[in-house]
């Protein structure tokens, strides 16, 4: 019988690099680092996808009101815990108010002492305060451990608007007060004419450029929705132009600064002619020839002024009879 024997040379391989025989045992090829990370990441993605699926199923089977109930319960627990720790409303500090009583502000705020500080709805409370007629805006903040700070910004009354025999208070933006009493503000200038409140803020900016002039203003008539007639406390009336009001007003201010024209015996100052000041002298005024010559050099023309037929110089009786 013939026996088959394995020769040692059959189990030997030549090394591809050295040409020598390789006596190592063949092994399975190893995976590269890239493939190992891919396998790891794929397992994590599967786990994350499984978690998201479980969460979606739980949300699907749990009703919305149950979730809201859990959220409300957590919020109540938090509020109670802060209240037990001493974070409750102990006082309210209100600043910035002048014309509206503090009691009215606190009443609109509607926050009782001892309420948990964390439960105060700042937006809703601020909106209630801003609903008061005198309040333009408000700021409400918490200050630990138990204080609320409320800063008030009031509307500023600047004039009275005459509508027939009634008067309405006007603020700095030309908006009316519907319920405010005008008694404490009878010293403010009176506006006459339809649309006068909305046009007055621009005029007021001019008057503020000459601070000592505004207190002398008694009334301002908005003529034809085009221009202003100003009546001062000394009986002087100023006619402003329709256009280039700032330039005309600047001319008058320069004249006031240089020649004290307001101290003269005038009853009308007309600024409607560009670059000129036309005045109407009081009938009993006596000006020397030297004074008149000097005024003419400055561009001031003193003469008897006759208003056009479609206009008139406003006075106290006009204010009472005018229907805005």
Is the pLDDT score of 200 beyond 70?
yes
User: Whose CA is closest to 302, among 317, 282, 323?
Assistant: 282
Residue 15 reports pLDDT greater than 80: no
Where are the chain's structural domains?
Answer: 91-154, 157-321
Q: What is the mean pLDDT of the chain?
A: 75
- State the Cα angle at 197 between 196 and 200, rounded to 5°: 80
pLDDT at 161: 96
> In this prediction, what percent of the chain has a pLDDT beyond 90?
40
* Mean pLDDT, range 150-170, rounded to an integer: 94
Q: What pLDDT is recorded for position 233?
A: 85
Q: List b or e across 276-313, with b for residues whose CB sees 16 or more CB atoms inside 10 angstroms.
A: ebbbbbeeeeeeeeeeeeebeeeebebeebeeeeeeeb
pLDDT band at 321 (very low <50, low <70, confident <90, very high): very low
Q: How far apart are CA 312 and CA 102, in angstroms?
A: 46
Task: Classify strands 157-163 and 147-154 as parallel, antiparallel or unpaired.
Answer: unpaired
Is 324 a residue whose pLDDT tops 50? no
159 and 189 Cβ atoms separated by less than 8 Å: yes
Token pair recorded at residue 208: 């503020």
What does the block give as tokens for 123?
A: 């937006």
Q: Is pLDDT at 306 greater than 50 in this prediction?
A: no
Highest mean pLDDT among 162-166, 254-258, 290-294: 162-166
The average pLDDT across 300-304 equals 47
pLDDT of 265 reads 76
The confidence score (pLDDT) of residue 164 equals 86
Pairing of strands 135-143, 166-171: unpaired
Cα distances (angstroms) measured from residue 149 to each of 135, 180, 234 = 16, 26, 47
Cα gap 106→152, rounded to integer Å: 12
- Taking only the tens place, the pLDDT of each residue in 24-70 is 555 555 555 555 545 544 565 555 565 556 555 554 444 545 545 64
Question: Does 146 score more than 80 pLDDT?
Answer: yes
Just give the CATH number of 91-154. 3.10.20.310
Task: Place 309 in a pLDDT band, splitting at 50, 70 and 90.
Answer: very low
What is the tens place of the pLDDT at every residue in 209-229? 776 666 688 999 999 999 999
Model pLDDT, residue 75? 59
Assess contact for 206 and 230: CB atoms under 8 A: no
In this predicted structure, what is the pLDDT of residue 313?
A: 42
Which of 39-53, 141-155, 177-191, 259-273 is predicted least confidently?
A: 39-53
Residue 205 pLDDT more than 60? yes
At 99 the pLDDT is 93
- From the number of C-beta atoms within 10 Å of its C-beta (0-12, 13-18, 19+), residue 179 rates as exposed
Whether residue 143 is predicted with pLDDT greater than 80 in this model: the reply is yes
- Write phi, then psi, for 143 (nearest 5 degrees): -135, 115
Q: What's residue 280's pLDDT?
A: 83
Alpha-carbon span 136 to 153, nearest angstrom = 6
Q: In the block, which residue shows the tokens 């000459």?
A: 210
How far apart are the two ends of the chain, measured CA to CA in Å? 140
Burial (CB < 10 A; 0-12, 13-18, 19+), residue 319, is: middle
Pairing type for strands 157-163 and 190-192 reads: parallel
The CATH label, of 3.40.605.10, 3.40.50.11690, 3.90.1150.10, 3.30.70.260, for the domain at 157-321 is: 3.40.50.11690
Residue ranges of alpha helices (H) inside the chain are 33-61, 64-84, 102-109, 122-130, 196-208, 245-259, 289-297, 316-321
pLDDT tens-digit map of 78-125 = 667 766 777 789 999 999 999 999 999 999 999 998 888 888 899 999
Q: Return the pLDDT at 320.
A: 35
Q: Cα separation of 50 and 57, whole Å?
A: 11
Tell me the pTM. 0.63
């Amino acid at each position: 019988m013939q026996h088959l024997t394995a020769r040692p040379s059959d189990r030997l391989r030549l090394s591809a690099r050295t040409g020598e025989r390789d006596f190592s045992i063949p092994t399975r090829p190893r995976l590269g680092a890239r493939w190992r990370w891919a396998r790891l990441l794929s397992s994590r993605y599967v786990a994350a996808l499984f978690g998201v699926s479980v969460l979606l199923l739980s949300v699907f089977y749990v009703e919305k009101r149950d979730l809201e109930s859990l959220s409300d319960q957590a919020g109540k627990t938090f509020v109670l815990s802060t209240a037990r720790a001493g974070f409750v409303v102990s006082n309210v500090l209100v600043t910035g108010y002048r014309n509206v009583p503090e009691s009215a502000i606190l009443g609109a705020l509607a926050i009782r002492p001892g309420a948990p500080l964390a439960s105060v709805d700042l937006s809703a409370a601020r909106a209630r305060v801003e609903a008061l007629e005198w309040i333009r805006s408000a700021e409400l903040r918490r200050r630990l451990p138990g204080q609320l700070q409320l800063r008030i910004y009031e509307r500023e009354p600047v004039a009275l608007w005459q509508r027939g025999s009634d008067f309405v208070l006007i603020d700095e933006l030309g908006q009316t007060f519907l319920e405010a009493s005008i008694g404490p503000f009878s010293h403010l200038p009176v506006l006459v004419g339809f649309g006068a409140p909305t046009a007055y803020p621009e005029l007021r900016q001019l008057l503020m450029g000459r601070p000592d002039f505004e207190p002398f203003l008694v009334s301002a008539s908005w003529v034809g929705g085009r221009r202003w007639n100003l009546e001062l406390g000394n009986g002087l009336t100023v006619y402003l132009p329709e256009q280039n009001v700032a330039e005309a007003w600047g001319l008058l201010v320069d004249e006031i600064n240089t020649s004290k024209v307001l101290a003269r015996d005038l009853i009308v100052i007309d600024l409607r002619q560009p670059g000129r000041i036309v005045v109407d002298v009081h009938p009993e005024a006596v000006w020397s020839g030297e004074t008149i010559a000097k005024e003419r050099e400055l561009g001031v023309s003193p003469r008897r002024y006759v208003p056009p037929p479609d206009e008139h110089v406003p006075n106290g009786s006009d204010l009472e009879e005018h229907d805005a």
